[in-house]
Each structure stands twice: as structure tokens, then as C-alpha cells.
């Protein structure tokens, strides 16, 4: 079946450091890929998405590129801020057959310190 | 435009009781999905409703059920509560199209079973 694997957290960085959170997926065909962020006490917010191979999603300084050859969708940001502290989830969705069901990774907690 | 709203935000029940959670989607959205979030199992898909019909279902026991009304509002019900049902229950809505349509999440209902 479809699955998403994320790097284990927590990840602790200093402000302005470079961030990478790894995400790989297992699926046949070409699912859509997403990164969601969850701040303490809140629901999930869509951060960015990509729907086909080589697409790059970007938002608020975060980027991720859909790599079909490595089945990966790693999240990156060049300079993190304290306000980026949150839990980040990688997810996939099939365009047909699965409705709008999202399959999530386990989440990676990011803590950014001054 | 108002976001996805969920009521109540917090709920405490005892084992054996039943509970009903409510979700109001964004205006114009016809699809509502439910997810369970726990520290051990992460985010797991419960079911999706579209135009008052269940379109997809996750691997949960029959104690978990849902429905959708003609105004797209949705409820989920859990009967004979168990301690393991303690979780954050998230609702998400989108316009209903399959594929790339963005899902918007509510803040969740935190259920504690004692």
C-alpha cells in the first residue's frame, strides 16, 4: 500500500540555520505530494504541494521538489526563524480511487532557538 | 471566508459512553474528511463524505461512524468509547473535486476518555 516515511525528530536548529526534513514515499504511479504544518494547539495548515514529477512547491521560504526517481519530497528552507517551530507532516494523495484521502508521515518536530 | 469549524473543541468522556463530534466545512465545500491523531499512531484517515454519501473509509472498527447533512456539515460518532479512542479528531474540507484540490483542516476536537 501507499506509505510515507519522514525523518525522526525532534530537529533543533539555531535561528537562520538551513533546514532539511527528509520525506520519501512508497506508491505505484504518481501521487500528489504535500507538506502540512501544525502549530501547538492548532489543526494542520497546508504549507506547499506538488502534483507531478519535477514540480517544485514553495511557500513562506519553504521549498520541496517532487523527485520521481528517488520517490522523495524533501522540505527545505534556507534560513529558519523561531516562528517556524512546529510539527511538519509530509503526505500523499492519489488523484483517483482514493477520494481525497491523505496518507501522512509520522511528523517531524522542529524547534528553532535564538 | 470562515474556515473549517469543529465543535466542541474539548471533550471528556468515560469508557463505554458514546460521543458525537461536529464539523462545519468552508462555505461551498462539499467534501468532508475525518482524521484521528494520536502520539502512537499519528494521523490516520477515518472516512470522507461527499454530497451526503461516504466516499472512502479507513481501517477503523464499526464503532466509528459518520454522516453528512445536505448543508455539507458533518458529524462523526464513536460508540462504546475505549481508552484508546483518546485523540485529537481533525476534520478537513475541500470543494469535492478529486486530485489536486487543497484540503483545509479545522482546529480539531480533543477527546479524552477516562
| Nine-digit cell string for A87 | 510539527
Number of residue pairs across A and B with CB atoms under 8 Å? 65
Residue B98: the pLDDT is: 65
Among the partner-chain residues A42, A96, A102, the one whose CB lies closest to the CB of B107 is A42
Write out pLDDT tens, residues A53-105.
Answer: 999 999 999 999 999 999 999 999 999 999 999 999 999 987 666 678 899 99
pLDDT (average), residues A109-113: 96
How close does chain A come to B14, measured CA to CA in Å? 23
Instruction: Check: CB of residue A38 under 8 Å from CB of residue A87.
Output: yes
Give me Rg for the CA atoms of chain A: 14
| Chain A CB contacts of B104 below 8 Å | 46
Write out pLDDT tens, residues A17-60.
Answer: 999 999 999 987 788 999 999 998 888 999 999 988 999 999 99
Residue A29: the pLDDT is: 78
Q: B98 vs A42: CB contact, 8 Å cut-off?
A: no
Among the partner-chain residues A43, A46, A49, the one whose CB lies closest to the CB of B108 is A43
Query: Chain A interface, mutation test: which of B10, B21, B29, B45, most A Cβ atoms within 10 Å?
Result: B45
Chunk chain B into consecutive blocks of 10 residues (it has 114) and report each block's average pLDDT, rounded to whole numbers: 92 97 95 94 94 92 97 97 97 78 91 97
Burial environment of residue B90 by CB neighbours within 10 A (0 to 12, 13 to 18, 19 or more): buried
Residue B96: the pLDDT is: 75
Residue B112: the pLDDT is: 98
Q: B50 vs A99: CB contact, 8 Å cut-off?
A: yes
Instruction: Check: CB of residue A77 under 8 Å from CB of residue A58.
Output: no
Residue A97: the pLDDT is: 63
Q: A98 vs B56: CB contact, 8 Å cut-off?
A: yes
Amino acid at each position: 500500500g501507499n506509505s510515507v516515511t519522514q525523518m525522526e525528530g525532534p530537529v533543533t536548529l539555531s535561528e537562520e540555520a538551513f533546514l532539511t526534513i527528509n520525506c520519501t514515499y512508497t506508491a505505484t504511479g504518481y501521487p500528489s505530494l504535500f507538506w502540512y504544518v501544525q502549530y501547538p494547539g492548532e489543526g494542520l495548515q497546508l504549507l506547499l504541494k506538488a502534483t507531478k514529477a519535477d514540480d517544485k512547491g514553495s511557500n513562506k521560504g519553504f521549498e520541496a521538489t517532487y523527485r520521481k526517481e528517488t520517490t522523495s519530497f524533501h522540505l527545505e528552507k534556507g534560513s529558519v526563524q523561531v516562528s517556524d517551530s512546529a510539527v511538519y507532516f509530509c503526505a500523499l494523495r492519489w488523484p483517483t480511487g482514493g477520494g481525497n484521502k491523505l496518507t501522512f508521515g509520522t511528523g517531524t518536530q522542529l524547534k528553532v532557538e535564538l | 471566508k470562515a474556515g473549517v469549524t469543529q465543535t466542541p473543541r474539548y471533550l471528556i468522556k468515560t469508557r463505554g459512553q458514546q460521543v458525537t463530534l461536529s464539523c462545519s466545512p468552508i462555505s461551498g465545500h462539499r467534501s468532508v474528511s475525518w482524521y484521528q491523531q494520536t502520539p502512537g499512531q499519528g494521523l490516520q484517515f477515518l472516512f470522507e463524505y461527499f454530497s451526503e454519501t461516504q466516499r472512502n473509509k479507513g481501517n477503523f472498527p464499526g464503532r466509528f461512524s459518520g454522516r453528512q447533512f445536505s448543508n455539507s456539515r458533518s458529524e462523526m460518532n464513536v460508540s462504546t468509547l475505549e481508552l484508546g479512542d483518546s485523540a485529537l479528531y481533525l476534520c478537513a474540507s475541500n470543494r469535492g473535486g478529486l486530485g489536486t484540490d487543497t484540503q483545509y483542516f479545522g482546529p480539531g476536537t480533543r477527546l479524552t476518555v477516562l
